[in-house]
Amino acid sequence: MLTAPADEVFRALADPTRRRLLDSLNARSGQTLRELCAGLDMARQSVSKHLAVLEQATLVTAVWRGREKLHYLNAAPINEIAERWINQYDRARVEALADLKQALEGTPLDTTGNPEFVYTTYIRTTPERLWQALTQPAFTRRYWAGYTFESDWRPGSTIVVTTGDGRIADDPEQVVLESDPFRRLAYTWHNKTTCDGGAPEPRSKVAFHLEDTGGLVKLTVVHDGFLPGSKVLESISGGWPRVLADLKTLLETGELADPVR
């Protein structure tokens, strides 16, 4: 099940201006329309139309911060299409797509401009089922490599994390921040990595936004609260896509290709 229809993704990638916008967001994600226009000799309205096409294909995710609309690269559709076509055809026939996938995945994340992680995927499930997968230990241990998350999921409640080897990570500061069942869940994130070898980084926050689109649930994960140059941000930017891919596979098929890593 692809995040967006393949035709929409290919149509969005076919235009060189839209590819330039993706390149710009790959270099520095979380840009405003004004910032994106600065790198193009094009009217603001035209850039806005190109961004709308990229959003429709879920190649770009927009997040409002006050009055500002920030745009983030979302590589999920490219990864899914690349995996599907590379598996079915020889590499020469998908070389351009594979190169683009590599470019998006291989460029180091810029953590100095807008230090946060945003990722959107569509899952063929219901909001109720997805909520269960986010909050019930029987689900989390399957796509979190054995980790479980236990709480009553009320704002202010602590979250007890049990690691894959059975150790309980007792962290009284890991708490539920927001809980609107089947719509939104947010909690603090343990930050044990340091920026420069000194004290641990400030605690960050992860939020899950669930939107029922009729047969599919749009899941957007926003992880923020990082310092510029955050090592934790570098770490979770590689980890979240794998966790969310496993979550999607589990809910849509009931199985994981590699449940233990």
Q: What is the pLDDT of residues 7-58, one digit of tens each?
A: 788 888 889 999 999 988 888 888 999 999 987 888 899 999 999 999 988 8
CATH 1.10.1760.20 applies to domain 6-106:
no
CATH 3.30.70.1140 applies to domain 117-253:
no
Q: What is the pLDDT of residues 234-248, one digit of tens each?
A: 888 878 888 988 899
Average pLDDT rounded to a whole number, residues 137-162 = 91
Q: What does the pLDDT read at residue 234? A: 82
Q: Which two structure tokens, joined as six digits, stand for 203?
A: 């605690």
Q: What is the pLDDT of residues 53-101, one digit of tens each?
A: 999 888 999 888 888 899 998 877 877 766 665 555 544 444 454 555 5
Boundaries of CATH 3.30.530.20 in the chain? 117-253
With DSSP H G I counted as helix, E B as strand and the rest as coil, what are the percentages for the chain, rounded to 5?
A: 40, 25, 35
Average pLDDT rounded to a whole number, residues 179-188 = 96
Average pLDDT rounded to a whole number, residues 165-177 = 78
Q: What is the pLDDT of residues 213-231, one digit of tens each?
A: 888 899 999 999 888 888 8
